[in-house]
Amino acid sequence: MNTLTIKRYIHSIPLAFVYIVLILASIVMVLPFIWMISTSLKVDAEIFGDTIRWIPSVLDWENYTYIWNDQKMEVLFRNSLYVSGLSVVVQVLLCSMAGYAFARLKFRGRDALFAAILITMTVPFEVLVLPLFLLVRQFPLAGGNDIFGQGGVGLLNTYQATAFPHLVTVYGVFIFRQFFLGFPKELEDAAWIDGASKSRFFWSILIPNSRPVIGTMGLFSFLWSWNDLLWPVVVVKVNSMKTLQAGLSTISQNPSRWGEMMAASVMVTIPTILVFLLLQRFLVQGVATTGIKG
Amino acid sequence: MAFEAVKQPSRPLSIQQRFSLWKSSDAFTAIVFLAMPLFLLLLLKFYPILYNFVLSFTNYDLSPNFRFIGLKNYQEILTNQVFLKSIRNTLLFVVGTVPIGTVLALVLAALLNQKIRGRIIFRTLFYLPVVTSVLASSLVWRWIFNPQMGLINYSLKQIGIQGPGWLSDPNYALISLIIIQLWMSVGGNMVVFLAGLQDIPTELYESAQMDGAHGWQSFLYITVPMISPVTYFVIITYTIAIFRSFGLIFLLTQGGPSLSTNTIVWEIYQNAFGYLRFGLGAALSVVLLITILLLSIPARILQKEQS
C-alpha cells in the first residue's frame, strides 16, 4: 500500500461510519410509519398473531373502508379542508400585508408597534386558550347570544372559530417582513417613477416575486392548522363540525381495533406528507430566517 | 443652488388636494394594510393576555355570578399536591427530553452536513415525524407500546425480557412520552442546526485537517463551539415546546396513571374544560406564562446580538 491508498483508507472509515449511523437513525424514524401502514393492511388474525410480519400476507383494505364509514371521515376531511384552506389563504394574505407595512412603509410609531407584536411571540397559545374560548363563546349576537354575549354558545362549532387562531400569526408577519426587507430598493424606485402607488407596487411586483416566502408560509400555515388539536377540541362540540384531529381524538383515547386505528392514521397523515414533499425546498430557508420548526 | 429656487407654490392646498396627497402617503397605505392584521392580533394576543390575568383572580365557572377572590387561586396552586406534582412532572419531562434531543439533533445535523450521497433523502426521512400530527403519532406509538402485542414488548420477549406496561405503568408512562417526544422533535431541531452549520466557514475545517485533526476532533473543537449560539437557541425553544406539550398527554395518558404524567398544561385544560374552574385554570396559565417569559428573555437578547 502506498501512502495515498492508506490515506484514502483512513478517510473512508469515518465516512462508512457516517452512513451506518445515518441509515440506522433513518430506520428508527421510519419504522413507526412502516408499522402503521403494515398494520392497516392486515386482517385481524395476523395483527394479533404470534409472529411479527412486516409485510402482510394478504393486502386487506377493509380496515380503511370500515373506519371511513364508521367515523364519518368524509365529513371530518371536508371540515379539515375548509378550516385549513381558510387558514392558509387568510394567513398568507394578512401576514404579507402587515409584513410589507413594517418593512417598506415609513410611518410614526412603526418600530414600537412591531416590537410590541414581536413580544407576543413568546406567549404560547396554550396559555391563551381559556380567554380565547370565552371570547368565542361570548361573541355578541352570534349563536343565540345577546348583545352582551350571554345566553347562547356564540361562535362555538363554526369554521370561523376553528380557523380563528390561524388567520394571522406573528411568525408570519415576521418572516414576510424579513423577506421584504431584502427586496432590492431599485425595483421600488422604478415602480414609483412609472407612477405605481404603494399598494400597486405590493400587489403587482412584490407579491409575484415572493414565491419562496409564500411557499414557506403556505407550508407552515397548512401544517399548523391541519395538525392543530387543542383548539378544535376546545371550540367544537358537535361531531358534524369537527376536524379530523379532533374528531378522531375520541377514538384514539381508547383504541382497540388496531387495524382500523392505523388505517385512520395513514389517511390523516397522507395530506401533510404530500404537502411537505411538494414544498420542502422552502423549509430550510424558513427555518434559517426564523428558527421555527414546523 | 439652482434647485432651491424651485419652491412649492405658497397658495394653501384645497381639502381635496390635501386628501389626495395624504392618500398617496405611506401612513395611509400603512393604515389600510395593517387594519385587519392588527385588529385580529389585538383579539388573539393582547386582549386574552389581559383577560386571563383578570380571570385568575376570580372563581369564574361560566355562571354569571362570580366573585373576585384575590390570590386564592394562586394559593391553591402552591399548596395542592396535584399542582405541585404537575410542576414536577413538567420539569421531569423537560429534563428527560431536551438534553438527549439536542445532542441527537446536533450529531445528526453534523453527520448530514458532510459531503455524502442522499443528504436530502436522509433529511426528509428525519423530518417526517415533525409534519405528522400528534394524533397519528400517538396512535401508532400506543400500538408499538402495547403491553401484550406491541412491537417493543414482543421484541423484548424474544430475548427473554418481560417488558413493562409502558403507558399504563406509573413508573414508565412519562418515559414512554419522552421516547415519543424525542422521535417527534429530533428532525425539527436537526434542521435548525443544519441551517446554523452552513454558516460555519469551511476554511476552519480545512486548516484543522491540515493540522491533522480528524472527523471527531474537528466536531468537538470546531463545530461544537462555533454552533453554540444555535445550540443555546435550540435548548430554549425546545424547553418551551416541552412546557407547551398537550397532545401526547391528552391522547395517551390523560395525566395518569396515578398522576404520573399530569403536567401544567394538562392541569390547565383539565380544570377549565373538565371541571369548569376557569379562574383556577387562568391562574395556572399565568404561572406557566411567567415561567416561559423568564426562560425566553435570554433567548431574545441572544437573538438581538446575532442580528
Quote the mean pLDDT of chain A.
Answer: 87
User: Which residues of chain B neighbour A258 with C-beta distances below 8 Å?
Assistant: 143, 146, 149
pLDDT at B274: 92
Query: Residue B273, Cβ neighbours under 10 Å: how many?
Result: 17
Q: With pLDDT > 90 as the criterion, what percentage of chain A qualifies?
A: 49
pLDDT at B142: 94
Instruction: Say whether residue A250 is in contact with chain B using an 8 A CB cutoff.
Output: no
Give the CA distances from residue A70 to residues A75, A157, A251, in Å, rounded to whole numbers and listed in that order: 11, 21, 11
Encoded amino acid at B75, one letter: Q
CB contact under 8 A, B131 and A272: yes
pLDDT at B256: 79
Closest Cα in chain B, distance from residue A200 (Å): 10
User: Which residues of chain A neighbour B45 with C-beta distances below 8 Å?
Assistant: 117, 120, 123, 128, 170
- Residue A150 above 90 pLDDT? no
- Alpha carbon B82 to chain centroid, angstroms: 24
- What is the DSSP code string of B168-227? GSTTTHHHHHHHHHHHHHHHHHHHHHHHHHTTS-HHHHHHHHHTT--HHHHIIIIIHHHT
Low-confidence ranges of chain B (pLDDT < 50): 1-3
Question: What is the average pLDDT across A275-280?
Answer: 89
Buried b (16+ CB within 10 A) or exposed e, A20-54: eebeebbeebeebbebbbbbbbbbeebbeeeeeee
> Mutation test of the interface with chain A: which of B34, B263, B267, B286, choosing the one with the most A Cβ atoms within 10 A?
B34
CB contact under 8 A, A29 and B183: yes
How far is the C-alpha of B151 from the C-alpha of B39, rounded, in Å? 50
User: Which residues of chain A neighbour B30 with C-beta distances below 8 Å?
Assistant: 101, 105, 107, 110
User: Which residues of chain B neighbour A124 with C-beta distances below 8 Å?
Assistant: 240, 243-244, 288-289, 292
Q: Which of A71-75, A218-222, B201-205 has the lowest mean pLDDT?
A: B201-205
Residue in chain B nearest A100 by alpha carbon: B33
> Mutation test of the interface with chain B: which of A119, A126, A139, A234, choosing the one with the most B Cβ atoms within 10 A?
A126
User: Which residues of chain B neighbour A33 with C-beta distances below 8 Å?
Assistant: 128, 132, 140
What are B58's strand-pairing partners?
B68
Q: With pLDDT > 70 as the criterion, what percentage of chain A qualifies?
A: 91
Secondary structure of A251-273 as H, E, C letters? HHCCCCCHHHHHHHHHHHHHHHH
Closest Cα in chain B, distance from residue A62 (Å): 19
- Dihedral through CA A85, CA A88, CA A94, CA A99, nearest 10? -170
CB contact under 8 A, B149 and A18: no
Maximum mean pLDDT: which of A40-54, A140-154, A173-187, B45-59? B45-59
Residues found in chain A: 294
CB contact under 8 A, B131 and A165: no
pLDDT at A38: 93
Q: Which long-range contacts (CB under 8 A, 24 or more apart) does B253-256 make?
A: B253/B167, B253/B173, B253/B177, B254/A253, B255/B86, B256/B170, B256/B173
pLDDT classification of A188: cutoffs 50, 70, 90? confident
DSSP three-state, residue A199? helix
All three cell numbers of A192, joined, read: 414609483
pLDDT at A288: 64
User: Which residues of chain B neighbour A90 with C-beta distances below 8 Å?
Assistant: none
pLDDT at B275: 93
What are B68's strand-pairing partners?
B58
Residue in chain B nearest A277 by alpha carbon: B124
User: Which residues of chain A neighbour B191 with C-beta distances below 8 Å?
Assistant: 283-284, 287, 293
DSSP three-state, residue B20? helix
User: Do B250 and B236 form a contact (C-beta atoms < 8 A)?
Assistant: no
pLDDT at B66: 85
pLDDT at B2: 46
User: Do A223 and A294 form a contact (C-beta atoms < 8 A)?
Assistant: yes
Q: Which of residues 161-180 of A touch B (CB under 8 A)?
A: 164-165, 167-168, 170, 173
Q: Which of A109-123, A167-181, B136-150, B212-226 has the lowest mean pLDDT?
A: B212-226
pLDDT at A1: 46
How far is the C-alpha of A48 from the C-alpha of A17, rounded, in Å? 38
CB contact under 8 A, A253 and B237: no
Instruction: Say whether residue A89 is in contact with chain B using an 8 A CB cutoff.
Output: no
The pTM for the full model equals: 0.89
Q: What are phi and psi of B196, to 5 degrees?
A: -70, -40
Considering only the beta carbons, identify the residue of B134, B251, B265 that sits closest to A126. Answer: B265
